[in-house]
Each structure stands twice: as C-alpha cells, then as structure tokens.
Chains A and B, each alone.
Chain A
Amino acid sequence: MAEPQISKTYPVKPKHKPKPRTPKQTTESKYWSSFKTKQIPDLISSITSLTFSPTTPHSFAAAHSASLTLYNPQNKFSPTATISSFRDVVSSASFRCDGLLIAASDLSGLVQVFDVKTRTPLRKLRSHTRPARFVKYPVADKLHLVSGGDDAIVKYWDVSGETPICDLLGHKDYVRCGDCSPVSADMFITGSYDHTVKLWDVRVKDSGSVMEVNHGKPVEDVIFLPSGGLVATAGGNSVKIWDLMGGGKMVYSMESHNKTVTSICVGKLGKDGGEEAQQYRILSVALDGYMKVFDYAKMKVTHSMRFPAPLMSVGFSPDCLTRVIGTSNGTIYAGRRKNKEDFEGGSDEELERPLSKYERRQKKLKALSSGDAGGLGPVEEPQVRVLKPTNFRYFHRGQGEKPSEGEYLVMRPRKLKLGEHDKLLKKFRHKEALVSVLGSKNPENAVAVMEELVARKKLLKCVSNLDTEELGLLLMFLQKHSTVPSYSGLLMGLTKKVLEMRAEDIRASDDLKGHIRNLKRSVEEEIRIQQSLQEIQGIISPLLRITGRR
C-alpha cells in the first residue's frame, strides 16, 4: 500500500496470439536450425560424397561427376581448388589425419592420392577391376588405405608402395561403403549390397571378417559412432544401430525416412562448454529430401529438415560449425553456424595473447574474491591494488566496468519504448497516429491502434478526416489485410464503413479507384476460398458424423 504511483503509460499492444501447446522449438532444434544454409549450385551432377578435413580450417571436399572440389567454409564456401584428373565419376574421398593428403576413388576402379595444396596425383592405386565405391584413411594412420568396390573385394593398401597389402574377401555383392574405427587403426567395417556389414581386422588375415551383421536391406552407408563400440548402418528406409561389443546385437532401428537413406554421419551438439558439449547425434539424409537428427542416447528423432531435392550425402565438420548436404541435382546446401571465433581467431590464440592491463586486473580480482570466499589457504597479497574510492582513477572507470560482488547495484528503471503512434496517441492526435502506423509495415500494430481508436470512439472520425493520399494508404492496408482471419473481424466492418463514408472521394480519384479494384479482387478471391472450404466441410462433416455414431 501507499507506494507512490503515477499511472504507467502502456504502449498500444496487439492482441495475444494463441500459443502452441507444445513449444515450437526445443533448444536442440534451435541449434540445428541455427546453421545458416547457403546454396552452392550448379555442380555438374549428383554429389556422391562429402568429406571434411580433420584440421582447421576444416575445408571439405565434394565429389561430383569426374571432379573433386575443395571448399573453404570460413570464406563463405568459396571453392579453393578443383581436382579433375579423373577418368570417371568420383565415388568417394577421404582426408588423411593431418589434412595434407586426400584419397579419392572413381568408377574406373582407380584410387588416387593427391596433395591437397598442389593437387598433383602422388599415387595411383590400381587393383580394383570394377568401379571402386569407397576409400578411407584409417584414423591416425598415415600409411594405409582401405577401399572397396563393385568387385566385392575390400582392399587394404600400402600407399607409398602402391600395392594392396591384402584383399579381404567375404562380401557377396557390391561393397558400397565402409568406415574405420575411431579407436583402432587396424579395424574397419564395410557395408555391401548383400545386406551385410562386416567388421574386419587386418591383424588377423585370411580368416575373413571378425564379425558380421545383417542389415536386411542393401547397405548404403555405415559409420562407427565415436565410442568405437557402436556402428550405425543405413540401408533401405532405416538406420540401424549395432552394438559391436555386445556381439553384434541390434540396439535400435530408426525408420522415420520414407525413402532410401543414402548417407549418414556423426553430428555433435557443439555447445560451448557444459554437459551438452559431448552429445553426439546421427545425421541421416535420404532420397525423400529429409535430413533427420537422431539422438541415439534417447533413441529419438530430435530434429528434421526438408530440402527440395533427393539428398545423396551429408557431412559435419569436426568443429561443429559447418554442416553440408549434397543433393542428386548438383546442389550443395552448406550450413554454417555463427561463432565468435570467426572474428576473433581461434581460442588457442586468445590464451597466448598478452592480456591487457584491465583483464589482468580483473583476473587478479577474481582470484582474490574466490580466495576470500573459500577462506582456505593463505590469501595472497594482491600485486595490483584494487581501485578504491580514495583513488582518483576510481572515478574514471569506464562504462564497461563490471560490478564486483559486494557492490550494491542501482538499477535504472527500464525505459519504456514508445512507438511513434503511441506518442501521437498520447497527444490525442488520432489521425496522425493512424497514418503513421499505416505507413509502418506492421499490420499487428496497425490493427491494435485501430482497436484503441475504437475504444476512444475516434476511428470513424479519423477515417472521415483522412485526405486522399492517406485514404489510399488505408485502402491499400485494407486490401492487404482485411481477409486475414485474425484481423478480419474488425477490418471487414471497417472496409464497409470506409466505402460508405468516403464514396464521393473515391469516385473523384483514379488512384483510389485502382485501390478499390484491387480490394474487390482480393475479396473475390477470399470468397472463392471460403466456398471451396465449405465444399470440403460438406464432404467431411457426414464422415465425421458417421464415425461419431460408432
């Protein structure tokens, strides 16, 4: 009681809109849609493979037709280099762990190793008799390669000698995909059109595969999940997760795609710090044009995005900033998330950067205050004196000065933001308020101002006072918005009144007649829509009645 109160000023606010019963965006889907997608169009044919370099700046290589293009995601996805010394369509590519070499396979059966910088082919590995379908550098191994092809043979190469160390036999159909274990340089898996996924260990030769699981459909893609114990396989409409440690048991089958899943990769929730930083997801793309994010801890699809073309390949950068998706019509949808390091440089740099005086003092203060709070151990003598009100510099602290713990904060009352129409309404200049809000491009505010004018019983007076130009503005607004369902209650009636009141002026001006024609057109269109909706209702309502009776 008895608080001194002057009645506050309330800005004119639009009506509340109904909130959806479930929140529109979870934090995760917000994260996934925070990748700002950019199209890289006009590549020759479908993007068969996308692979990221393991070193910064994490450029990626896109295989399309008989060439391999490298893009730099930090520079607005500009192509940095194109390798085109292929005789046939490139099927797969893989960076070496230091990012200096790239291996690529093509449908002629040739596997080549290039220097990323000079683009010269360093080694040509010829052994596949049929098209080679995948090539992969083992993790943290610079000397060997794994490749597979339509000849159903998986080869383990000695790159420097250009010779296959061993041929791994066992698949009965085309080998289309494979991945190397993130924990061991000797283990890898391959997936084949014979529905099986085989785990190989090059240390045990001649004995065939170590383990084999049956996906049930031709396997399009297979990956190791980061733990090394789980693998995910894609084939048909499903993505399946298998536990290798548990003897090849299927953990879960995700079947939310409508067409064949073409490619999967591991994504990561790249939140800075915190527990969420280490959350991995499976990104899967399919011919139905959907990219789905699957949380294999909760076994739930957490996000889903639609693209306007069948999707062929997907890649996710190790720094969690870039996500690229390749389509069958030669377009790459490259998404990049904003982060500070784009502007400031890497975080490593920051640590080495000499600290400014201010920051040093802050650190000292922080150390000091934490020492006080803990109350443990000897409190170190601060080397930089804390500024005190006795010090002259105390009064010259900048605006950026942060308050320390014990300081009492005087909060400035938040200033109320009033729009131009609010200010005019406050001065009872009703017509000017209406005109100003019609000029601004926010129909919600305009309707709110009209409602406020109704509450003051001034709307029709305003309408009668408008001059020709302003009337044109009003008619344009009415034409655009009078059929919008949430405004139509007020605007339809207003339109009628305006036409009644200002018929003379409208007849006198050609501009206004044009507005009226447009208005008529949009009203007719709305009537057509309503009629067709009624027809649909007429069809549905007997059905509903019947089902209700049962």
Chain B
Amino acid sequence: MIGGGKSYVSAPPAFSTDAKRLLVCTGTVVSIFSTSTGLQIASLEAHNALVTSVIVVPGNKALSFCWTASLDGTLRYWDFAVAELMKTIDIKMPIFSMVIPSFLGQPEKGMQESALPVHVFAYLSVENTQVQANAPKALRGQIRKCDLTESRLGGGVFAETREPEVITVSPSGKFFGIRNKRKIHIWRVPAIDSKLLVSKKITLHHTRNLTVLAFHPTKTIVAAGDVSGRILTWRGFGNRTFSDGGKLENGTSKNNEEERPGVRGDDDADSCTTWHWHPAGINVLSFSSDGAYLYSGGVEGVLVVWQLDTGKKKFLPRIGSPLLYLTDSSDPSLSSISCADNQIHILKMPLMEIVKSISGIKLPYSVPEIYEGICNRFAFDHTAGLVALRTENYRIQFYSLFDDREVSEVQVWERNHQPGDEIRVIVTLVCLSGDGSMMSTVEVKLPEEGLGGLVCLKFWASGSQNKNFTMSTIVYEPHRDAGISSLAFHPTRRMVVSSSYGGDFKIWVCSDEIQQKREALQHSGWMCHAVGSYKKKPMTAAAFSADGSVLAVAAETVITLWDPDNNALVAVIGEAQMPIVTLSFAGKSEYLVSVSQGSKPQLSVWSMSKLSEFWSYKLHIEDLTCAPDSSSFAVLALLPKSSAGMGSNEPSLVGKDGVILLFNATDPVPLTMWSVRKAKGGGLAFLNGNQHSFQYNILDGKPPQTLLVYMNGDHEYVIFDPYGNETNELSLTKRESHVALDETGQFGYASIYGELPRFDLKRDQAFLAPSAPSQRPWETLFSGSSHNLPPLTKLCSEFMESLLEKRTATVE
C-alpha cells in the first residue's frame, strides 16, 4: 500500500539548524526536504493524527533535534538526522499549536541542557475535549504550559478561547501572544525559576477581527493583520504592565495619556500606526531578523516588504496563490513561504527571489455551484501511474502517484490568474487517452449578464515521456453555447467523443488518421467527424467499449448505443429514474455500468447481450472505475447521513462517510468493501500494476496485476492491491501502517541505493536481503551531497558489506 498526496501547508514548516533541510508537516508524518534540491530525503512517522507544529531545537549546526505536536495529543522529540523518536509526552488533549520560548533568544541554552537539567517549558494551545462543541459559548481553546523536561503539564490555564488559537512567540523569547477575535493577548514569558503559575497579560484592542500577529525581534513592537487587509503596529506595548520585569530596550516609558496616538482606550502601548495596502485578509506577518523590515502577505498572493521606519513598500508579485506562512531560517538569506496551492517556495531573501519550489499535489478548490455538476475530478494515466488534476490557475497538474511528486504542469488557458478573485474561468473537464499521449480539456468562461460566455474544447498531444503537452487544436464553442458533459477517448484510435447538454454529441478525429490513407500528411489537427443526437435530449455521459466498436451515450435517462464509425444508432436501452451521469463498460465483458445521481441515486449494470438491466442498487455513487481487462469494477459510494450517524456507535466507523465496493459485473454481491473517510469529492481508478517504480519497492512476492487507487476529497490517496489478502483488514485511513515502501524509498540517495535508508530508518530491524543495485556500489557510495549521506559509521558497515558480497560472488 502506498499513500501520498498530503498537504504540505497544513502547518508552518521549520528549517533545520543548518538551513539545509526543511521539516514540513504532511498529515501524520513530518517530511524532511532538502532546500537545495527540493526533494524529500526522510520522514518522521509516529503520530496518529495531523501534526500541527514542528520546532527545531536551535543551537549548533550539527544538532538535529526537534519537537513535534499533533492532534493526537502527544508531543514527540526526534533526532531527525536519523529519523529516530527519542521521547514522547502524552498530553491527552489535541494540540493545535506549540511554542517553546526558551529556545529563542538564548541560543546557549541548548548547549547547557545536557550538562545540567534546566527545565524547558512549552506553551501549548490545546482543545478541551471535555467541553461539548455545541454548547453555547463553550470555551474549547486553552493555552497551557508544559514542562518538557519532566514531561508533565503545568496546572494552570493561561486563557480560554472559543476555538484553539495559534500561539505566536516573539523572536527574543520574552513574549508570546494569541489573537482572539478583535483582541490580542500578550503574556510575558516568566523566568525559568519563577514559581508564578500565571504570568502577567496585556490586551490590545482593534475594531475588526484580527488574523495574525508578529513580534519585533528586539523592540517591544507587535504587528497584527486584520481581515480587511490593514496592518496595525503597536510600539512600546506593555511598558507599564511589564516594567517591573527589567530593562527593555525601548524602556523609556511615557505614561502621558495624551501622547499615545492611535492606541485604543486603556491599552498598554505607546502608539499604534496602521498601514493598508492589502485588499483582503492578511495571512502572513513577520519581521525580518534585524527588525528593519516587516513582511506581509495575504490572499492576493503578493509578498510585501515594508520598511518599518518609513513605511516604504517593495513587492514580490505573482506568486500565484494565497500565502499562508513565512518561515525564517538561521541562514539569513533563506526563507520559505507556504502557499495555499500546496507549494512551498524557498526564497533567497534580500533579493526576494524564488530559488526552489516544493510542490505537492494540488488541493481541491471551491468551484461555483453551477459548475459542480459538470466538472470531472481526476483523470488517471493508467500505464504511467499519473493523475491529472485541474488547478485553480487554469492548469493541469500531472502528479505521479507512485513517486508522490509532481511531474509537470500544463497551462491550459493562458490567462493571468488572480488568487482571491471570484472564479469565473474554470477548466471543467480533463480526459487522457489510454496510452497517456493525448489529452483533451474543456474550459468554461462564465458569461456576465448573458454576455461573452465561452466553452472551449482543446486537444493536446505530448511528444515524450515527461508529459510536456502541446496544444494541437482548439475548438471554440464546440456545441454552440451548451456545456460539455463528458469526454471520452477511443481506446485504440485517435477519436474523442464529447457529449453536451445541448442535445448532441460529436465525434472528433485527429486528421492524421484521415490522411494516412492519402499519404498527404500536412499538419495534424482534430476535426469533427460526426454529430449525433437522440430526441433532442441532453447527452449526459459517453463511453467507448473496450474494443472501441460501440459507443454508449446517455441521453438523460436512456442509454443509446452507436456505431462510432458510421454514426449509426444501434440500440437504445431502458430507462433509469434519474439522469445518468457516468457510463462505463466493465472491462472487456458485455456489461455496461451506469450511475445516476440526484434524489433517486442508482447504480445499474446493463447486459449488452440482452439489452436490458441486469442488476442495480440504490446507492449514491461518487465515482466509478472499471478494471481494464477483467469484468470487475469498483465504485465509491457515499454513506447516507443516517447510517453515518448510526455508524458512530461502532468505533471502526467513526468519521467514515464512504465505502469502496468492488464488484464483479456478473454478480450483485460485492467481492470486497473498504470504508473510507472524506469520500465526498473523492475518486477511484485502477492502475496498471506492472510499474517499474512500483516493482522496485516490492521486496517479496510478485507485484499485483492491477492496483486500485483511492483519492479522497482532500486529494490524499492510497494505492493498494484490491485482490490481495491483507487489504481486507487494512484501514485506509490509518497511515501508520505504512511500511518502508512508501515515498522515502524513492528520492535522492534512496533511489540510488535501494534499501539503505530502510536500514537507517529502523536500525533494530533485521535488514532484508541486501542486494546492491549497482555492481560496484563502493565507487559511488560516498559521492553525493554530504547532508544526504548517513553518518560515516553507518556507511562504513554498508561499504564493508558490499565488499564482502562482491567477494562471495566471485568465489561462486
């Protein structure tokens, strides 16, 4: 089983102490990427739920320790160079955010830690699970203190909020704060040996909901962004309240009430200024390490640098997606910004230049209501194991399911995407040919009060393996102004059928094929070969049979069968209750599967030999996929709300809202079923199991012929063998059941040296059949970038071992 497609931007990432690695929270694991190559090099796996914070212990560049916090209620301490878990603290409350102020400001602390046990405290934002969520005015969020050295939770609760909030700590390590609706609460971090349970707190007020706050590295300045795009900067906060605490650099406290411009009411600050450039809410706010600049960014995808004294601006425009987090590293020239499109850009800082991008699978994006029905979700390249996803900026992303990384992107509509604008242009359909060499896309532009709407059908061809698609033909308004409901490629020939709600379907052929006979091959292009319609009914779905001799087109509730070459109607089959939305032939068998949705959802199997319905279920089907050669097919069914609520009594069904059912077309009893989470908006596909990259990872047994991939509503996916024995008890949502055959095995060092990382990852395990992929591994064993290499002690044993193996081989 292979999993992947995690979000890289669910939580802020963290740089390692030498700034050569980036620790990214990806679902339940922490993935470690190299900042120089942008590739994944390791992962930390132990948490059971979403990891929400990762904090690297600062200090010497050789140190590689980090703390992570997760929604499963644990804090874990890792040595991430070797991916080893060193310590676990169970808080028993979901942790949403964690800061450790003592790591900041006093870098020598980390060194002392080993010498004498100084208590390290963390401040956690946790969710109080005892309070019912639906109770009025429930205060579920709590800020708590935790002694990491003694692994116990401090008694007191600093603050209670409606929802768990993100804690922000000042770079000097003296303050931390949260935003709470229109207020900011700031605490001063108590001294280590202080016996005070609750430290002093100040509150700053604003008239709009605040979104983010940031502390100045040296001065007592705090900046906050609000939902309207304003940036507020309070200077000299807490001079009165915290003045007993000692010498602040800005400590000339003027208590003159009149000379506090912009400060609201009784707030404890000297002045408050406002900057307004951002048109919408601010997500990113951060001071530069020398405190001269303030970085801000938001929904519109522009990183703005403010000169703090003068308010002058500089911009990094066209990042292309809403910004979420800005993370600094110990290296002042490197920072990273996380974008909402699941990309992390590594910035070279004074220049603000993107040097590297780490891109994950594109996340689903909200689509206007009217489009929802006509968008297909994914297109799968069955042979290469790729998925094609439509992205918000009019592109198609090709994502390798086996390698869990992006392969390429194709710009479908050449238009400047403005994140945060209303979505009015959208790529609705994408369809790949059986061999993956051709693609067809449909995009729709919404009319403005009936003006200027456009439907556009495009055909693409790729020359080589790397999916560099180039456009071959563009058809404006292929079915006049009617929308296209589905696209399907002929299994063997260059033929595409497009069905429209306007009541007709068109068969398109590539002119290469026509002109082969006349041997006058001038330029390739697609043209309309035939038009068909049935009683002027909207055509809602289309599919070719496995040999391409029959074309099935659903005309709302009936299925019409056509001869695609002669464009002749062959037969019309029966009547479904609701319009059919998906049609598919079950492999090479004589059965046709149809899915209709709406108030009376239905899954039906039609027999082609009898031209009648064979069997059907009343199920709400989200997606349907048919195995290419056998007669089995799999559906992703949504559980009805009532049964989902009922299922909550059973522990195994908590939070699961869908099931995958594997059928044989001849038998209405499903072969297998798996229950899954987040099935709404999910997808299913059979993949060809004879994958080079996949076989590589399977160490025992022969690879399965076909694999099933399930992609959930958040674009996380798992690939598994639907006919395997062990899958019956596999829970698809339990990610810790991953074995070493997931993505760590395939990047950088690992891709060259096979199971060596496995040997490093789990030292206690007996290593399995060490076979050196290259004949003379010692030659290349020590080459490669040094931060990718395991420690010398480990390499040495591998080196010796490879020598030994060589010798036995020669003896035999």
List the interface of chain A (C-beta within 8 A of B).
1-10, 13, 15-16, 19, 21-23, 425-426, 450-452, 454-457, 459-460, 490, 493-494, 497
Which residues of B sit under 8 angstroms from A451, Cβ to Cβ? 445, 452, 454
What's the least CB distance linking B388 to chain A, in Å? 15
The number of chain B residues with a CB under 8 A from chain A is 41
Given contacts A454-B447, A457-B422, A460-B448, contact A5 B354 (CB under 8 A): yes
Instruction: Select one of A21, A426, A455, A459 contacting B445, CB under 8 A.
Output: A455
Neighbouring B residues of A7 by C-beta, 8 Å: 318-320, 393, 416-417
Q: Would you call B714 an interface residue if the criterion is a C-beta within 8 Å of the partner chain's C-beta atoms?
A: no
Interface string of B390-417 (1 = CB under 8 A from A): 0001000000000001111000001111
Interface flag for B522 (CB, 8 Å): yes
Indicate whether B533 reaches chain A with its CB closer than 8 angstroms: no
CB atoms of A10 and B416 under 8 A apart: yes
Q: List 18 additional A-B contacts (Cβ < 8 Å) besides A10-B416, A450-B452.
A: A1-B406, A2-B37, A2-B39, A4-B345, A4-B355, A7-B318, A7-B320, A7-B416, A9-B318, A23-B522, A454-B448, A455-B446, A457-B446, A459-B448, A459-B451, A460-B451, A493-B450, A497-B451
What residues of B have a CB within 8 angstroms of the CB of A9 in the complex?
318, 416
B residues near A, CB below 8 A?
A: 37-39, 318-320, 345, 353-359, 393, 405-408, 414-417, 421-422, 424-425, 445-454, 474, 476, 522, 525
The 6 closest A-B pairs by CB, nearest first: A2-B38, A454-B452, A7-B320, A4-B354, A10-B414, A493-B451
- Give complex CA distance A490, B449 in Å: 12
Is the CB–CB distance between B359 and A455 below 8 Å? Answer: no
Report chain B residues within 8 Å CB of A452.
415
Closest chain-B Cβ to A424's Cβ sits at a distance in Å of: 13
Q: Given A2-B357, A4-B355 in contact, is the A459-B318 Cβ separation under 8 Å? A: no
CB<8 Å pairs between A and B, sample of 6: A1-B406, A1-B407, A457-B422, A460-B449, A460-B451, A494-B452
Q: Which of B358, B416, B445, B449 contacts A497 (CB 8 A)?
A: B449
| Given A7-B320, A456-B424: A1 in contact with B405 (beta carbons within 8 A) | yes
Q: List residues of chain A with CB within 8 A of the CB of B357.
A: 2-5
Does the CB pair B424–A6 fall under 8 Å? Answer: no
| A22 & B447 in contact (Cβ 8 Å cutoff) | no
With both beta carbons as reference points, the residue of chain A lying nearest to B355 in the complex is identified as A4
Question: Which chain A positions have C-beta within 8 A of B445?
Answer: 451, 454-455
Residues of chain A lying within 8 A (CB to CB) of residue B356: 2, 4
State the CA gap A1–B397 with chains docked (Å).
11
B416 contacts A426, C-beta separation under 8 Å: yes
Residues of B within 8 A of A6 (CB): 318-320, 354
- Whole-angstrom distance from the CB of B475 to the nearest CB of chain A? 10
* Bound Cα distance from A101 to B451, whole angstroms: 73
Q: Are A493 and B522 in contact (CB under 8 A)?
A: no
B452 touches A490 (CB 8 A): yes
**What chain A residues lie within 8 Å of B450 (beta carbons)?**
493
Q: Could you say which residues of chain B place their CB within 8 Å of the CB of A455?
A: 415, 424-425, 445-446, 452
Given contacts A2-B359, A459-B452, contact A15 B345 (CB under 8 A): no
Find chain B residues with CB under 8 A from A494 CB.
451-452
Instruction: List the A side residues contacting B446 at CB < 8 Å.
Output: 455, 457
Q: Is the interface of A mostly helix, strand, loop or mixed?
A: loop
In Å, the complex CA distance between A19 and B471 comes to: 14
B359 to chain A: which residues have CB within 8 Å?
1-2
In the bound complex, CA of A365 to CA of B447 (Å):
63
Closest to B347 in A: A4
Asked if A2 meets B358 with Cβ closer than 8 Å, knowing A455-B425, A455-B445, A459-B448, the reply is yes
A456 to B345, CA, bound (A): 28
Q: Are B415 and A457 in contact, CB atoms less than 8 angstroms apart? A: no
Which of B318, B345, B356, B422 has the most CB atoms of chain A within a 10 A radius of its CB?
Answer: B318
Say whether B421 contacts A456, CB under 8 Å: yes
The CB with the most chain A CB atoms within 10 A, among B353, B422, B451, B474, is that of B451
Measured CB to CB, the closest approach of chain A to B491, in angstroms, equals 28
CB distance from B679 to the nearest CB of A (A): 29
Closest to B449 in A: A460
A457: chain B residues at CB < 8 Å are 422, 424, 446, 448
CA of A1 to CA of B415 in the docked complex: distance in angstroms? 22
Chain B min CB distance to A481 (Å) = 15
Please give the distance in Å from A16's CB to the nearest CB on chain B.
5
Chain A residues closer than 8 Å to B415, beta-carbon distance? 10, 452, 455
Q: From residue B399, how far is it (CB to closest CB) to chain A in Å?
A: 10
Contacts of B416 in A (CB 8 A): 7, 9-10, 425-426
Q: Which B residues touch A5, using CB under 8 A? A: 354, 357
Instruction: Choose from B454, B522, B525 the contact partner of A22 (Cβ within 8 Å).
Output: B522
Bound-state Cα–Cα, A261 to B735, Å? 87
* Residue of A whose beta carbon sits closest to that of B471: A16
Residues of A within 8 A of B320 (CB): 6-7
Closest A residue, CB atoms, query B476: A15
Residues in B with CB closer than 8 Å to A454 are 424, 445, 447-448, 451-453
Among B406, B415, B425, chain A packs the most CB atoms within 10 A around the CB of B415
Chain A residue nearest to B407 (CB atoms) is: A1
In angstroms, Cα B454 to Cα A535, docked, is 31
Find chain A residues with CB under 8 A from B318 CB. Answer: 6-9
B229 smallest CB distance to A (angstroms): 15
Bound together, the chains give a CA A2 to CA B421 distance in angstroms of: 26
Q: How far apart sit A2 and B38, CA to CA, in the bound complex (Å)? A: 6
Query: With contacts A2-B357, A452-B415 known, is A493 near B452, CB below 8 A?
Result: yes
B520 to chain A, nearest CB (A): 10
Least CB distance, B639 to chain A, in whole angstroms: 37
How long is the Cα–Cα vector from A5 to B354 in the complex, in angstroms?
7
In the complex, how many angstroms separate the beta carbon of A187 from the nearest chain B beta carbon? 43
User: What's the minimum C-beta distance from A353 to chain B, rounded to whole angstroms?
Assistant: 45
CA distance A431 to B449 in the complex (A): 18
Q: Using A2-B356, A10-B415 as known contacts, say yes or no to A490 and B451 having CB atoms under 8 A apart.
A: yes
Return chain B residues, CB-CB under 8 Å to A23. Answer: 522
In whole angstroms, what is the CA distance A490 to B320 when docked? 29
Q: Are B452 and A13 in contact (CB under 8 A)?
A: no
Residues of B within 8 A of A10 (CB): 414-416
Nearest CB to that of B425 among chain A residues?
A: A455
